[in-house]
Amino acid sequence: MVTATLPAPTAAQWTPEQWQDWRDEVRRLAAERDAVVLAHNYQAAQIQDVAHHVGDSLALSRIAASSDASTIVFAGVHFMAETAKILSPEKTVLVPDAAAGCSLADTITADQLRAWKAEHPGAAVVSYVNTTAEVKAETDICCTSSNAVEVVDSIPADREVLFLPDQFLGAHVQRVTGRKNMRIWMGECHVHAGISPTDLRHSIEDAPDAEVLVHPECGCATSALWMVGQGDLPEDRVHVLSTGAMLDQARRTTAKRVLVATEIGMLHQLRQANPAAVFEPVNPRAECPYMKKSTPERLLRALREGRDEVTVDPEVAARARSAVEAMIALGTPSLVGE
């Protein structure tokens, strides 16, 4: 049993044999509990490797909904586990640490959204999936970073749009759609916002022949496209992509070096997708402390003790589910998400 071999206090001290014991115990307990373990792309590599499925939050929630397992263990942040519960109300949903929040989701509350809607009666509300269940319940249609443009384009051109909560994704959508009647909430993910235009420029100066992958939540996304427009970067080497689309691009790229602007946990999946390329972070300090709260020890605790369970008020869940299903009904049920 793992309890006999794992030393205290942290997994950082474990030997290869003890890591194997941990992996075996996670899978044994998951089978015993009838649980499927889901890990977000930004989780630590060991968590990703032991999970049954790895992906972005919406893809994982949809996998959870289609799984035969009665228990979902979501190694991610709280709003992701909430989304899984919204789509799978009959299942038990656990998150390894209930304190795993999200700085982006925290930038807007349901009360703030209701007040914003009151200022703009008749406007369509588009919420990124990186929001709480209560905010989704006040939303007309959700979006992911991969389909945000399509979602906004689906709204009649003469109807005002309230887009929330990420200002950088909103700016990207407005730039692509050319939509003038779109108001954007000034929220941000502190990790992605911290990947700055200066970081990007220095990385490109150090690797002028590299391909560049930029998540649209990043503070450098606009700068990357501006550099393309100025001729500082070749257009065919710069891609503003969701995490799922980054994986697709990684599989097909022939570049020897690829600069990646997103949370550094994503590098593990990219490197596995294409071992022939060298993937380097634009900002090696871009690590989400909330994502990393799902430690190996806490994942094991979740499976052993059935904690921490995530619940959503049924009335809130029903309204939030409507917004998520409206997005899926658009005809882009892609596994690519944030």
The pLDDT of residue 338: 58
Q: Where is 183: in which H helix or E strand?
A: strand 182-184
- Per-residue model confidence (pLDDT) at position 120: 98
Low-confidence ranges of the chain (pLDDT < 70): 1-9, 331-338
The model's pTM: 0.90
Cα–Cα distance, 281 to 301 (Å, whole number): 31
Chain position carrying tokens 């882009």: 332
pLDDT value for 10: 73
d(CA 46, CA 181): 45
CA 96 to chain centre: 17
Q: 277-281 long-range contacts, Cβ below 8 Å, gap at least 24?
A: 277/250, 277/253, 279/250, 280/203, 280/207, 280/210
CA dihedral 214, 78, 332, 255 (to 10 degrees): 30
Residue type, 284: P
Residues 6+ apart with CB under 8 A from 83: 57, 58, 61, 129, 133, 136, 324
Phi-psi region of 331 (alpha: psi -120 to 50; beta: other; left: phi over 0): left
Give the integer Cα–Cα distance in Å for 141 and 322. Answer: 8
Of the CA atoms within 13 Å of residue 236, those in its CB half-sphere come to 3
pLDDT at position 200 is 92
Place of tokens 């496209």: 225
> Cβ of 9: how many Cβ atoms within 10 Å?
7
